[in-house]
Amino acid sequence: MISEFDLIARFFTRDQSSQPQVALGIGDDCALLNPTPGMMMAISSDMLVEGRHFFPGADARQLGHKCLAVNLSDLAAMGARPLGFTLALSLPQADEAWLAGFAAGLFALADAHDCALIGGDTTRGPLNICITIFGEIPPGLALRRDAAEVGDDIWVSGTLGDARLALAGLRQDVALDPASQAAAAARLDAPTPRVALGLALRGVAHAAIDISDGLSGDLGHILQRSGCGARIDLDALPLGPVLARQPQALQRAFALAGGDDYELCFTAATTQRAAVLAAAQAAGTAVARIGSITPAGGLQLVDASGATLDLHPSSFDHFASP
């Protein structure tokens, strides 16, 4: 069987001469990064655990994509530019076909964002993938959760709910035809981090968060940190195309509290509407205006007629949720 060091050399070590942000890559006790002088570092970790975040036997290439995508999404939600990442891998065995697929998915996304793999750790154990990502941002321009202001518009990127619908289909809670299941599963297995949008929203948006646990819960973090409330028009939520063909109750439940969307939810002053739309166009990502920030605490849900709805969406919690 391949040794630990051969594994790292063969699957994870690449020529980094074209990546000036890397002063020293894999192979020493630490990597050395070269952030642009004057920039702040943005740092985040996310872990994917087999049986918890993905099904046993999940496709290796998709896992390679997803574990980096969820980390890039955190940089996007801050408005940070990716520089590099470390990869801590626990593997039950050194399966070379699995490693080749995993590395292909990982590096395809890493290269698309010029984000360099600079180090990590490799050990035998239950399948567990932990990435720490490093980005940079000019001081004062980070899109923080505590920066929403009363009167701001609330926006979301892309569409919501198809990832959650794919999970419901896999669990056979909802019957989906094979084409619909495949289309929804693409959102669950291969999320698109909105890095370009996050960068374009620097200086335009106030607060931002990426929607990993469901819109209502994640927006709730902005409300809590910013000390305000929100009013959301449920009929303005941009639904995933597969979810859009489902009954309304399911649409609302999954768009509000689905999870795994990896879209951005952000707030911006009403005077910035044209600037938000220009940022979205420059980034090639659709955005929808779904409500506004209010002084009172809590989340008020209304429909297009203005009627208040009494829904209690719950977001995903690893210890409180089933």
Tally the residues of the chain.
322
Among positions 3, 6, 20, 27, the unique one binding ligand ADP when judged by CB under 6 A: 27
- Three-class DSSP category at 123: strand
Q: Which is nearer to Mg ion, 121 or 149 (CB)?
A: 121
Examine residue 15 and tell whether it contacts ligand ADP (CB under 6 A): no
- State the nearest-atom distance from the C-beta of 127 to ligand ADP, in Å: 13
Number of residues that bind ligand ADP (CB under 6 A): 13
What are the residues facing 130 on neighbouring strands?
A: 47, 88
Q: Which two tokens stand for residue 54?
A: 């993905």
Instruction: Bin 265: left if φ > 0, else alpha if -120 < ψ < 50, else beta.
Output: beta
Contacts of Mg ion in 114-133 (CB under 5 A): 121
Q: Burial code of 113-144, b = ≥16 C-beta within 10 A, e = fewer?
A: bebbbbbbebeeeebbbbbbbbbbbeeebbbb
Q: Which of residues 57-96 bind ligand ADP (CB under 6 A)?
A: 87, 89
Q: How far is the CB of 68 from ligand ADP (least distance, A)?
A: 12
**Cβ proximity to ligand ADP, 4 vs 149, nearer residue:** 4
Show the beta-strand stretches assigned E in the chain: 22-24, 32-33, 40-49, 81-91, 116-124, 128-137, 153-157, 208-211, 229-233, 263-268, 287-294, 298-302, 308-309
**Among residue numbers 118 through 137, which ones bind ligand ADP (CB under 6 A)?**
119-122
In the list 15, 28, 310, 317, the residue contacting ligand ADP (rule: CB under 6 A) is 28
Report, in Å, the least distance between residue 121 CB and Mg ion. Answer: 4
3-state secondary structure of 289: strand
Q: Tokens 């948006």 map to which residue?
A: 205
Question: With CB cut-offs between 5 and 8 Å by kind, which of Mg ion, ligand ADP, none does residue 253 bind?
Answer: none
Q: Minimum CB separation from ligand ADP for residue 109, in Å?
A: 15
Question: Which positions touch ligand ADP (CB under 6 A)?
Answer: 8, 12, 26-29, 87, 89, 117, 119-122
Question: Which positions touch Mg ion (CB under 5 A)?
Answer: 121
